[in-house]
Amino acid sequence: MLENIKVLYKEEELQQRIAELAKQMDEDYHGKPVTVVSILKGAVFFTVDLVTKMKTPIELEVMQVSSYEGSESTGKIKVKKDLDNSIEGKDVLIVEDIIDTGYTLKYLKEYLQTKHPNSLKIAVLADKAERRKVPVEIDYTGFVIPNKFVIGYGFDYNEIGRNLPYIGYIEM
C-alpha cells in the first residue's frame, strides 16, 4: 500500500504554511496565553510544528476522539481520552489534522463549549470541504484538499504511514 503514495504537499510546503498559520495566530491572540488542545493521534505532528513556531505562550492539552475505522468515518464519535485540566475562562485552540464530514469537530466544539472557555477556535491542517455533511466554522485552515485518502504527516492508513514527512494520497 505505501509504495503507491502520490505526494500532495512536500515537507517544505507544509512547514511554510504552518509558519504562516503560527504568525496569524500570534497576531490574533496578541501574546495572551492559549490552551492548545491537540487531537490525538493524527494532529500530533501538526501541533508540534505549529506551537514551536508560535510566540504566543501555550498550555498543551490532548484529547483522543475517533470516528474512523480503516478509511471510512463511522459517524459515531467516541472520546477515548479527555482533557486533564479545566479550560474554563481560557482561550482555547483545537488543533485537528483534518475535517471532512465535520461530525467530529462539531461534536468537539459543542463538547468543549460546555466547559466554558473564554474563546474557542479551530485549526485544521487539511480541509476536505467537498465531503462536509455538517457545517463547522474553521478559524485556521492549512490546505483545502481534494477528496482523496491522505497519508503521511500524521495521517494514517490503519495506523501506518503517520511518520512520512509529507502529505500524500492513495487511490482507494
Report CA Rg, the chain.
Answer: 15
Cβ count within 10 A of residue 114: 7
Q: Which amino acid is at 75?
A: G
C-alpha 57/C-alpha 31 separation (Å) is 7
Residues 6+ apart with CB under 8 A from 80: 40, 64, 65, 66
Active site residue 91: no
C-alpha 11/C-alpha 120 separation (Å) is 29
User: CA angle, 152 as apex, 151 and 155 as ends, to 5°?
Assistant: 60
Per annotation, catalytic residue among 100, 127, 139, 156: 100
Q: Are strands 149-151 and 58-69 parallel, antiparallel or unpaired?
A: unpaired
For the annotated catalytic residues, the residue numbers are 100
